[in-house]
Amino acid sequence: KMKPELGIILVSPVITQPNGAISAEVVLSDGLVATTAFNCKWPLAEGGYSDVEAKNRDGDAAFLQISTLPEGQSLTGLPKKWFTQAILSLDGRYGAYGAPTDVKVLSDSAENGRRMLDISFTALSPGSAAIERRAVVSAMQPPGSKDVLMLIGSTSASRWKKAGGEASARQAAESLRVVSTRPTNLKQVAQADYRFGRTSGPEGMKSRNDGF
């Protein structure tokens, strides 16, 4: 199973703040580093398979993804399909065993520089079982950047209502924030990531549960 391509280049390790917030420094494509944070009741995912992610043993997860705006587009003007194609691609978090299907955008709103979408989709598990999932997406642009930061909170459809999954996913997504930005000489390439070249093995995969 390949690691998802989420556009995340980390300057330093992801940390859990004393107040429980998950914080990460990520390289943007504009010569900037953004310090991002979000709050989540699920624990920080560790190991080589995850970038900036919180998840539990039931497959509930909240993760950060970065994509660059198409030329001449604005966050508020982006078509819904741009988000679903970015998040639910074969290279994405839920595409390891085949591209997600039955993709639907259930709601879409923009307010205070933030785009919020509710989506449903079906993903394939390691055993090729079809798992219906729900997700909430929060998207925002760091000041001075053409990149879009997205926080995706997702659970299985069965856990969305019954297990409080929706409330937890929505809380995580809505809490996404850009704490600060600063100039950098780092490029948005793999070699700039502090993890580049480090060996990974069983120790680096200790919390992997394949997203389900």
- Structure-token pair, residue 61: 């997860």
**pLDDT tens-digit readout, 150-170:** 999 999 999 999 889 999 999
Q: Is 148 in contact with 179 (CB distance < 8 Å)?
A: no
**pLDDT tens-digit readout, 78-98:** 999 999 999 999 999 999 999
How many CB atoms sit inside 10 A of residue 173's CB? Answer: 25
pLDDT for res 154: 98
d(CA 189, CA 205): 22
pLDDT band at 2 (very low <50, low <70, confident <90, very high): confident
**pLDDT tens-digit readout, 24-75:** 999 999 999 999 999 999 999 988 889 999 999 999 999 999 999 999 999 9
**pLDDT tens-digit readout, 99-143:** 999 999 999 999 999 999 999 999 998 888 999 999 999 999 999
d(CA 105, CA 14): 30
Q: Mapping DSSP to helix (H, G, I), strand (E, B) and coil, where does residue 126 land?
A: coil
pLDDT, the chain, mean: 91
Q: Is it the case that residue 210 has pLDDT exceeding 80?
A: no
